[in-house]
Amino acid sequence: MEMKETIMKIGGDIKNSAEKFAKGTIDTSKKMAEKAKIKRAISQAESSLNAAYIEIGKKYEEIYGNKGEADFAQMLAEVADARAKIAAARAELAAIDSAALCDNCGKYVQEGQKFCPHCGTKQETVQEAAPVEPAETVVVDADGSEVAAVAND
């Protein structure tokens, strides 16, 4: 009977190990899927930002000068919105990986890293990752009326 109990114990240990391995694999897969979704959102926001920059450039070329600030308000608002989405998504990615944000470039840095892998800045004080709320600037046209609120970087 002792042999049967030993075999049962070994079987139970194997089962527990397999369950832990499966749970770890599932958790890792979920984390990777969540990160991929966020990275896709960042890519889409960056594409939107680039499209807005192209439109700003085209409009500026048409107007050529400072007299057309009101014409830029919607495009500048799109740029501000895209930047805010990118910053929030990057902070969310950093939080998933238990990372922090670089003092210089705002991208995430793994805990314990002395230099940012993106910009190379030495990490004196690593900030806890949190969504960044950009400051706003009010855009007014020539007659002084408010046209749009635009986020600053």
Q: Where are the domains of the chain?
A: 2-151
| Residue 126 predicted with pLDDT over 50 | no
Q: What is the pLDDT of residue 125?
A: 60
Q: How confident is the model at residue 132 (pLDDT cuts 50, 70, 90)?
A: very low
More confident residue, 83 or 38: 38
Burial class (CB in 10 A: 0-12, 13-18, 19+), 29: exposed
Of 12-16, 27-31, 66-70, 78-82, give the range with the top mean pLDDT. 27-31
| Pair 49, 79: CB distance under 8 Å | yes
Residue type, position 53, single letter: Y
| Residue 35 predicted with pLDDT over 80 | yes
Write down the pTM of the prediction. 0.45
Mean pLDDT of the chain: 77
Q: What is the pLDDT of residue 149?
A: 53
